[in-house]
């Protein structure tokens, strides 16, 4: 393991509580049930969650790697996380958006380690170069020691004017580097029009991967400044029954829209130029990744019309 991963205050959180509604037809065709995409095997015999675990394992100690999940998905994550201790599974009563899930994890981590540096990882992404991805994450963790009041976003090099991604407009360069330049954040653009996406790409804007790194304190400060009602309500939760009530009463909160987009001055972005990041948020992107890498999984076998027959209608 690297020197970065040996730091005892470095934590990872894998976000695996989403419902994956846009891929439900595809995942049902592959698995035969209603499992969300993070528990589905798109590439070989490993789920996206399995691949996420493997991708970050060389960087983070397993005892400081948490998984935020939804209670309704227990039938799917029970076997896939059978080797994970229960205290490392943060099981939400329901999915209430990324900001709620992150706040719950940050509260747990801050209670264990007041000096924690936390990295959040979605569990539904694909990387064509995992070594480059890990290099970017380790660079981001090192840089957080120099910018402790900021939260760092990993911004992927834009390969096309994608309208379904969020975009980050970088500002002043803080650390110059060919692959991993660090820059201030000027603005967020959420799912722009095609014309705007073309202009953003020409201006050197980056795709928002949602891989986010910062001290637990910096994250909590951001949440307090933007969604104080969330942090106040969560502070009142002391037992599981109260957590259920909290989730019954709280409205969904999206971290990108409600927090990041409102506080760009507190953010920095690290350019990830080499990992080949893709958000598998639509069936079209799943097929594109398979095609680009020459992968033909068993569920695309022509002998399985239930899987192959709807490729043209998935997106």
Q: Return the pLDDT at 314.
A: 40
Q: Return the pLDDT at 301.
A: 64
- The rounded Cα 208 to chain-centroid distance in angstroms is 10
Q: Return the pLDDT at 302.
A: 56
Q: Return the pLDDT at 76.
A: 96
DSSP secondary structure string for all residues of 233-281: HHHT--SHHHHHHHHHHPPP--HHHHTGGG-GGGEEEEEE-SS-EEE--
Nearest to 253 by CA among 234, 280, 275, 272: 234
Q: Please report, to the nearest 10 degrees, the dihedral formed by the alpha carbons of residues 131, 135, 140, 143 taken in order.
A: 170
pTM of the shown model: 0.92
What backbone phi and psi angles, to 5 degrees, belong to 157? Answer: -60, 125
d(CA 219, CA 227): 12
Angle at 62 between CA 59 and CA 66, to 5 degrees: 100
d(CA 101, CA 98): 5
What is the per-residue pLDDT across 204-263, written as a single tens digit (0 to 9) for each? 999 999 999 999 999 999 999 999 999 999 988 877 778 999 999 999 999 999 999 999
d(CA 272, CA 132): 8
d(CA 233, CA 253): 13
* pLDDT digits (tens), the chain, 315 positions: 344 434 679 999 999 999 988 888 899 888 889 899 999 998 878 999 999 999 999 999 999 999 999 999 999 999 999 999 999 999 999 999 999 999 999 999 999 999 999 999 999 999 999 999 999 999 999 999 899 999 999 999 999 999 999 999 999 999 998 888 999 999 999 889 999 999 999 999 999 999 999 999 999 999 999 999 999 999 888 777 789 999 999 999 999 999 999 999 999 999 999 999 999 988 888 888 888 877 777 777 655 544 444 444 444
User: CATH fold of 10-313, please?
Assistant: Spore Coat Polysaccharide Biosynthesis Protein SpsA; Chain A (3.90.550)
Q: Return the pLDDT at 299.
A: 76
The DSSP symbol for 115 reads T
Q: Return the pLDDT at 205.
A: 97
């Amino acid at each position: 393991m690297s020197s970065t991963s040996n730091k005892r205050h470095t934590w990872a959180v894998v976000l695996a509580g989403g419902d994956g509604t846009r891929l439900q037809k595809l995942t049902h065709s592959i698995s035969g049930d209603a499992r969300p995409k993070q528990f589905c095997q798109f590439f070989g015999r490993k789920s996206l969650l399995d691949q996420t675990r493997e991708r970050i394992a060389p960087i983070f100690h397993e005892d400081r790697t948490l998984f935020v999940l939804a209670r309704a998905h227990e039938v799917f994550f029970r076997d896939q996380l059978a080797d994970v201790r229960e205290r490392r599974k943060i099981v939400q009563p329901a999915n209430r958006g990324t900001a709620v899930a992150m706040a719950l994890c940050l509260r747990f981590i801050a209670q264990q380690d007041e000096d924690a540096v936390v990295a959040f990882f979605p569990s539904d992404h694909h990387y064509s170069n995992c070594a480059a991805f890990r290099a970017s994450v380790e660079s981001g963790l090192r840089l957080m020691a120099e910018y402790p009041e900021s939260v760092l976003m990993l911004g992927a090099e834009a390969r096309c004017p994608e309208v379904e991604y969020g975009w980050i407009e970088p500002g002043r360069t803080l650390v110059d580097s060919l692959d991993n330049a660090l820059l201030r954040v000027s603005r967020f653009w959420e799912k722009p029009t095609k014309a705007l996406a073309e202009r953003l790409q020409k201006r050197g804007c980056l795709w928002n991967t949602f891989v986010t790194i910062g001290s637990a304190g910096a994250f909590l400060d951001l949440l307090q400044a933007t969604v104080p009602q969330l942090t106040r309500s969560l502070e009142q939760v002391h037992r599981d029954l109260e957590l259920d009530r909290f989730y019954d009463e709280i409205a969904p909160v999206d971290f990108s829209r409600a927090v990041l987009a409102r506080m760009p001055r507190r953010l920095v972005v690290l350019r990830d130029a080499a990992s080949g990041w893709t958000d598998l948020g639509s069936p079209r992107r799943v097929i594109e990744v398979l095609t680009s890498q020459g992968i033909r999984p068993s569920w695309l076998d022509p002998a399985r019309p239930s899987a192959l027959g709807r490729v043209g209608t998935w997106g």
